[in-house]
Structure 1
Amino acid sequence: MRDYEIFKLGDITLQSGEILPQAFLAYKTYGTLNAAKNNVIVYPTWFAGQHADNEWLIGPDKALDPNKYFIIVPNMLGNGLSSSPSNTPPPYDRANFPEVTIYDNVRLQHQLVTQKFGINKIALVVGWSLGAVQTFQWGASYPDMVDRIAPFGGTAKTRPHAKVVFEGLIAALQADSAWKQGFYTEQPKAGLAAMGRVYAAWGFSQAYYLEQLFQQEGYLTLEEYLVDYWDEVFLTFDANDLITMLRTGIHGDISANQRYQGDFELALSKITSRALVMPGSTDLFFPPEDNEYETHHMHNAIFLPIESKWGHCSGIGQHEPDSLFIDTQLKQFLLE
């Protein structure tokens, strides 16, 4: 049974100028919207994530407590639940699906929040990885609407090195002979497994592998970990969907729109929301130095690294000490 709702947007003109016909967002809510409509938290999803993957941070006695807050988790475009190559009718299906940006995602989420629920004030936008990029975009696009933002494990702009890594993930997938320029008749499983192997090197830190911390996840050897986990991790996803999300990440930049005209520092300076920025201390996708630079250009931002050997994946909810740190800091941040 479907555990989420659909918000229909109709034909949408994307930032690229292309039309996405009969666009829709899949979303799930937790808790109850209060009469004042001021207990709202927006928690976007991330690359290869869906709303259920965000639930580790939601629950009674957690920072995102549904007994206190109305939490909206909008699924990212391209993740297989919201409009994606795998669920859009021809001629915009598969490899013909138009390019979507972080800006597009947030603009449509804004429509969901305002038009569906009549909300004009958000207590917190929070997100990990590409969800963090969306969080920054909320702060830059709607500064008067958002009280607080808490991006963790992600930056306000994808730097060149991260772009190279994302392109490498795409190249590994497309090297499969079953790819057929995105018009495959069956999923390119060898390419999806190769993508997992590439991601494995960047998702965690060098120390994670040196100290064999994957054994804490139940894998006795490195080979077992790679074969049984990383070779399988993307097989449940559609290949075109994954590439759509990666390309969204490649072009991530909160200033890449008409409002800011590519002036990144200006966009950062216009984020007036209180901000708690938590990079993973050993993140190889989005290193903490990038977030430190960003917070220097924001008016009211706290830079607080997650000290962890779990690298980028310190923010995915897999490692209890990291998860507890994030939850504790969010609790305090919501009280301030």
Structure 2
Amino acid sequence: MEYEIFNLGDVTLQSGVTLPNAFLAYKTYGKLNEKKDNVIIYPTAFGDQHVQNEWLIGNGMALDPSKYFIIVPNLLGNGLSSSPSNTPPPFDNANFPQVTIYDNVKFQYRLVTEKFGIQKIALVVGWSMGAIQSFQWGASYPDMVERIAPFCGGAKTWPQTYVVLNGMKAALMAAVGFESNKLNKLTSADMRAVGNVYAGWGVSQAFYREELYREMGYDSLEGFVAGVWEDSFMKMNPHNVLAMLWTGQNANISANPAYHGDFDAALKTIKAITCIMPGSTDLFCTVDDNKYEAKLIPNAVCHPIESIWGHFAGRGINIVDNKFIDDNLKHLLALSANG
């Protein structure tokens, strides 16, 4: 897997903890033009690495590397950027500090400005926890970001979403009898239960009822759960997952010194032309939550992805959903950012 490393040095996190020798893993696609204004930032989602974003990048697509310079920064905790699994003591494994979405975007800003000298961003786009990072970019750097396109994700972790993530966390905590001092005993095998918890949330009731998993090559419900949900989670490091779950549970674009928790004010500050694409049957990042957010962002539209793929309408698997997202991104990029 090819990617580059941007060394951040010793960083002080929002929590007040200093993480020594922190770094961002990232990959770029295309070339930065002379004006440095053809930039698209495409952050990764929970559990994903940059390769999982590549389905939305390609010639003739909205994210066309022959036109744009696309930067995919990896989320802290995902195993490539600074994470429990690759940080030396005293911050290894269960001792990794709490990292916020605000921290992630601040570090991405450093990458964009210090490494590349970029001052204007044409678009920030992302799925799920990538979506919340695109909202955060819009709120943290309103004069820099011209457009944002969050899909299947909110500008904060709404209460029910928090509960869903808590269920995933509880599956890991149960493996150590809910004793946090035993967390370092967790193994990837303990992730099987997390996959089963997520299986009920990742896609919709209709997806299961209509047995769409057969389109993915599974001839039984059990085979699908084991082959997709269990398998994908068991490939993840449990400590990385706990770190990302904390980031996800505490995600809120206003939870920082700029907005002091005033969520509505943070939304109103976003100047970017905004296209929010919730999955119409997403069970934990709902259309209603996004509609609330879209009403407060001055220049926002909410275009639901009409799909029974639930949260995974934004996962790059279903061709119809992929085309809908790509078409909306093409339309968004064609709009003048100057009004």
What is the distance in 2 between the residues matched to 1:56 and 1:180?
40
Whether 1:125 aligns to 2:124 is yes
Letter in 2 for 1:187: T
Whether 1:280 aligns to 2:254 is no
Match of 1:208 in 2: 207
State the Cα distance separating 1:173 from its structure 2 match: 2.0
The SS at the match of 1:209 is helix
The SS at the match of 2:25 is strand
Match of 2:183 in 1: 182
What is the distance in 1 between the residues matched to 2:182 and 2:23?
26
**In the alignment, is the contact (CA less than 8 A) between 1:95 and 1:181 conserved in 2?**
no
Could you give the per-residue CA deviations for residues 272-331 of structure 1, whole angstroms, max 9, x where no partner exists?
110000000011120010000001011000110000000000001011110111011101
Match of 2:247 in 1: 248
State the Cα distance separating 1:188 from its structure 2 match: 4.0
**In the alignment, is the contact (CA less than 8 A) between 1:176 and 1:188 conserved in 2?**
no
Whether 1:154 aligns to 2:153 is yes
Whether 1:39 aligns to 2:34 is no
Whether 1:265 aligns to 2:264 is yes
Letter in 2 for 1:181: K
The SS at the match of 1:122 is coil
Match of 2:51 in 1: 52
Letter in 2 for 1:134: Q
Match of 1:68 in 2: 67
Could you give the per-residue CA deviations for residues 86-123 of structure 1, whole angstroms, max 9, x where no partner exists?
00000011111000000000000000000000000000
Whether 1:310 aligns to 2:321 is no
The SS at the match of 2:22 is strand
The aligned runs of 1:9-48 (5 Å cut-off) are 9-48=8-47
The SS at the match of 2:291 is helix
State the Cα distance separating 1:228 from its structure 2 match: 2.3
**In the alignment, is the contact (CA less than 8 A) between 2:176 and 2:183 conserved in 1?**
no
What is the distance in 2 between the residues matched to 1:131 and 1:223?
29
The Cα RMSD (Å) is 1.2
What is the distance in 1 between the residues matched to 2:225 and 2:251?
29
The SS at the match of 1:276 is strand
Letter in 2 for 1:132: A
Letter in 1 for 2:115: K
Moved more, 299-308 or 224-233: 224-233
What is the distance in 2 between the residues matched to 1:168 and 1:89?
29
Whether 1:299 aligns to 2:284 is no
Letter in 1 for 2:323: L
The SS at the match of 2:290 is helix
Moved more, 312-321 or 224-233: 224-233
What is the distance in 2 between the residues matched to 1:38 and 1:258?
28
**In the alignment, is the contact (CA less than 8 A) between 1:169 and 1:195 conserved in 2?**
yes
**In the alignment, is the contact (CA less than 8 A) between 2:188 and 2:236 conserved in 1?**
no
**In the alignment, is the contact (CA less than 8 A) between 2:255 and 2:261 conserved in 1?**
yes
State the Cα distance separating 1:177 from its structure 2 match: 4.5
Match of 1:228 in 2: 227
Q: Which runs of 4+ in 1 moved over 4 A?
A: 177-180
What is the distance in 2 between the residues matched to 1:127 and 1:335?
18
The SS at the match of 1:171 is helix
Match of 2:169 in 1: 170
Could you give the per-residue CA deviations for residues 151-181 of structure 1, whole angstroms, max 9, x where no partner exists?
0000001011111110110111232259973
What is the distance in 2 between the residues matched to 1:155 and 1:132?
7
Could you give the per-residue CA deviations for residues 50-79 of structure 1, whole angstroms, max 9, x where no partner exists?
000000000100110000000000000000
The SS at the match of 2:107 is helix
What is the distance in 2 between the residues matched to 1:261 and 1:231?
39
Moved more, 167-176 or 71-80: 167-176
Moved more, 233-242 or 81-90: 233-242
* TM-score of the two chains, using structure 2 as the length reference: 0.96
Q: 1:188 to 1:5 in 2, by over 3 A?
A: closer
What is the distance in 2 between the residues matched to 1:29 and 1:168?
35
What is the distance in 1 between the residues matched to 2:330 and 2:256?
33
What is the distance in 2 between the residues matched to 1:130 and 1:236?
19
**In the alignment, is the contact (CA less than 8 A) between 1:173 and 1:188 conserved in 2?**
no
Match of 1:136 in 2: 135
Whether 1:104 aligns to 2:103 is yes
* TM-score of the two chains, using structure 1 as the length reference: 0.97
The unaligned stretches of length 5 or more in structure 1 are none
Letter in 1 for 2:64: D
The unaligned stretches of length 5 or more in structure 2 are none
Letter in 1 for 2:49: Q
Moved more, 60-69 or 230-239: 230-239
The SS at the match of 1:231 is helix
State the Cα distance separating 1:126 from its structure 2 match: 0.2
